Structure 1
């Protein structure tokens, strides 16, 4: 009887030890959510208004599915809180968060919030379990909008590239066309490759989708990397074709039809 009681006690201790980090982690994440509440509304508004980030609200559901799919592996992983790794990261992230909030830097606030989440998970669950959650946690970064300055610089480069290669594609069909910067001159109309037509929205969305698909469908690092990296030329090339097709429709039919085609093709 005494031996049975000892075994029962040991079992209860094991369960409690496993449950404590989970409850503590949930409490910390709840506190983070409360701290982020003043910024959440603006973030969601930005996602819904900017076509580049319309995929962002879906990412938490993808992360939840990926974690659920690994539930057996995670349950078998020993939980050893990481004070050497997780605690310093949490302290540093907290300091940066305070500075970012005081400086009213949207990007820094959102980026630091992600690192706060990662550090809380690392601190409470340890390195082994956090490593197995590395990709779902990394996906959180895909919800953080690109800094405005960097976004504008990339968009401008893509605008010029799209205009140049769009003109080259149109010339293949012996259509008189001339390009200057992001302006495409046709015999009877003029097209402007605006920032919204740069292809950056398709690039970000396809890159995110490629990462998720590669993680789910492939095992090797090389195969996953090839799928993810292929998203860049595919997205850029498709935008070139889209602009060229828009120019051809504008030349043979009308600018109104061309604009309708472009927006329909953009999804």
Structure 2
């Protein structure tokens, strides 16, 4: 009897170990399963390498501020402000897009593998279209146009290797590569209007709700006594949080929703939520400046910023506002636009999610359960 109980325990332990595979090992096994089921891998990888080599050698004709023939290097320089400041670049978000697209396609792997995977020669039309778009951008010296051609061609190569069903199933998330086109100076008309909007909203809220007297002149906010003043510069327009919020809204809309009106509502909500997030950040700066300009706080201000008391009395509000503008403790205030917008989107997604819910899980049964019952007896 004791021997039987010991054997049962060993069997259960072995089965439990096999069922509790590590995360990395589980991913490796799943990756190889998907890899072996995917046809025409070699064809796609060879064509993709040749396509990327074309844009590496003959991708950029401007040779201006970024002196390179490689469109790929031009893109990286545009995303990172010439490789000097990734954090300050308005287009740095594009560096994350390939990772996001690959992750989303991995999450759709069963749907993609369920398609009729076959070589589909009409997809060469998309490849040719991408080549024509690139040639047009090359001739008129517009690398952004060539970027559109780059991703159009890659999309066509996927269709060539795996067929029209794959193209339909992968249109989203592949569409997110649109965010890889850097805006640069093209965003100035948008950023200027965003700056004007947020300064107007800050002025209204300060006057009518917070009883803080600020004067707006264009994109400048000034305290009448001159104790502090701030300009909503292009870097504070909220364009980065707007792009990130729209991208997240697109992801949530296509992953969590099936009805098009729900998707449209989610995407439309991204714009006011992004403005709201930037508004909260600007309000926090003004409130900190108003609070820091109080005379009774001057000794604490002088000690905190290590400045003379006379300077703290005159410019304490400016110092506290700049402190919040620069991010505050651990840079948390710089995240306000993203936190407010992302939380709003996630709450909206919770109510708009129309995916079918899985039924209750059946009671576990099988060898492991039977073995455990035998040991219990």
Q: Distance in 2 between matches of 1:100 and 1:214?
A: 32
The alignment's C-alpha RMSD in Å is 2.1
Q: Give the aligned partner of residue 4 of structure 2.
A: none
**Structure 1: runs of 5+ lacking an equivalent:** 1-17
Is the 1:52–1:205 contact (alpha carbons within 8 Å) kept by the matching residues of 2? no
- CA distance 1:135–1:263, shift in 2 (3 Å): farther
Alpha-carbon distance in structure 1 between the residues aligned to 2:198 and 2:45: 46
**Secondary structure, in 3 states, of the residue corresponding to 1:179?**
strand
Shift, 1:79, TM fit: 2.6
Greater share of helix residues, 1 or 2? 1
Q: Counterpart in 2 of 1:262?
A: 325
Deviation for aligned residue 1:39 = 2.1
Could you say which residue in structure 2 is the equivalent of 1:28? Answer: 47
User: What corresponds to 2:100 in structure 1?
Assistant: 62
Shift of 1:73: 2.2
SS in 1 for 2:173: helix
Q: Tell me the secondary structure at the aligned position of residue 118 of structure 1.
A: helix
1:238 to 1:73, Cα distance in 2 relative to 1, 3 A: closer
Residue from 179, 204, 217 that aligns with 2:256: 217
Q: Give the distance between the partners of 1:71 and 1:162, measured in 2 at CA.
A: 42
Give yes or no for the alignment of 1:78 onto 2:122: no
What is the alpha-carbon distance in structure 1 between the residues aligned to residue 173 and residue 49 of structure 2? Answer: 19
Q: Normalising by structure 1, what TM-score?
A: 0.84
Residues 147-187 of structure 1 show CA distances to partners (whole Å, capped at 9, x for unaligned) of 623x0110011111111111111112222221121111212
Cα deviation digits, residues 219-238 of structure 1 (max 9, x gap): 33333332222111011012
Q: 2:90 touches 2:184 (CA, 8 Å); kept in 1?
A: no
- Give CA-to-partner distance per residue, 1:55-79, whole Å, 9 cap, x none: 3222222222222222222222113
Partner of 2:76: 44
Aligned pair partner of 1:120 in 146, 157, 167: 157
**Structure 2 unaligned blocks of 5 or more:** 1-37, 57-69, 81-85, 293-316, 328-332, 336-377
CA distance in 2, matches of 1:80, 1:116: 18
SS of equivalent residue, structure 1 residue 55: helix
Name the residue aligned to 1:133: 170
Higher Cα radius of gyration? 2
TM-score (norm 2): 0.61
